[in-house]
Amino acid sequence: MNDDLFNYLVATDELDDFLGYEPKCPNCGSKLLEIVYGMPDSKTGEKAMNGELFLGGCMVGEENPKYHCNTCERSYFENLKDYVEEENNFKMMEDDN
């Protein structure tokens, strides 16, 4: 995520809104696609073609990611904030050096 944007969101306490209103990639800020599992019906397939969702395939487990970023080609679990905080902690560790 862009540092300025991230700092702004944290400073203004808008991070929850930012991530909650429309899920966005904690890495690049792109809109995230919801991952749909199982056999897609025609409507679901059409949405996937239009880039409105991501087909996760037929394997449905207990711990499947919920969102997918087409830009990073990375999948995310439901709590996106974890990724942001994880990234932030990592940055703070780097700053200590």
Q: Applying CB under 5 A, which residues contact Zn ion?
A: 25, 27-28, 30, 69, 71-72
Any residues with CB less than 8 A from the CB of 28 and at least 6 apart, and which? 1, 69, 71, 72
Residue 30: CB minimum distance to Zn ion, A? 5
- Return the number of the residue (47 or 74) whose C-beta is nearest Zn ion: 74
Strand, coil or helix: what is 75? strand
**CB nearer to Zn ion: pick between 46 and 82:** 82
Q: CB of residue 19 vs Zn ion: minimum separation in angstroms?
A: 13
Residues 6+ apart with CB under 8 A from 91: none
Nearer to Zn ion, 73 or 95 (CB): 73
CB of 71 to Zn ion, least distance (A): 4
Are the beta carbons of 36 and 56 closer than 8 angstroms?
yes
